[in-house]
Amino acid sequence: MTMLQHELTDFTANIFHDDKFSQLTKKDVLGHWSLFFFYPNDFSFVCPTELEDLADHYDEFKKAGCEIYGISHDTEFVHKAWHEANDKIAKIQFPMVADPTNRLSRDLDSYDEVNGQAERGDFILDPEGKVVAYEVISSNVGRNAEEILRRVEASQFVYAHGDQVCPAKWTPGDETIAPSLDLVGQL
């Protein structure tokens, strides 16, 4: 079953952000682009490398109008402890979302029943809270923030210009394709 166009269900989650605890709801993610970035758990091996990569590119995501939400089944208290204990995680400025009941990972179908935690899944949500792109990969392979950002920007372009599509390796400023029956013979 595809998650494309799946609308995020209502939720309330505790978060650690800006050195304080607060809550995040579906309403908070509507009206702007979002990246829900699931990872298995805090205090692990691959996860800090991915989160540091996102932290290093956070300004680019913000410039693109996209908020990052780092999500694992750990509580907001564990997120805070990890943020304070690890130099890579200390760089994070985006919200770290607690999903101890796995409600969000189940909603976006990235929950691993056997391990009781989220797989490595990244979900790009449009301003209406619908999934427009996603990837779920093995928990032992890290992801690349630059590629995720490229997919965010391509998704935003197509969202704004529904009559055009983005070819492989497209980045902002590159040419797009306006599909037409005239092009079919050239493909």
Known catalytic residues are 47
Query: Please, what is the Cα angle at 177 between 175 and 182, to 5 degrees?
Result: 140
Count of CB atoms within 10 A of residue 21's CB?
A: 15
Burial of 3 (0-12, 13-18, 19+ CB in 10 A): middle
Q: How far apart are CA 14 and CA 16, in angstroms?
A: 7
Could you tell me if 64 and 148 are in contact, meaning their C-beta atoms sit under 8 angstroms apart? Answer: no
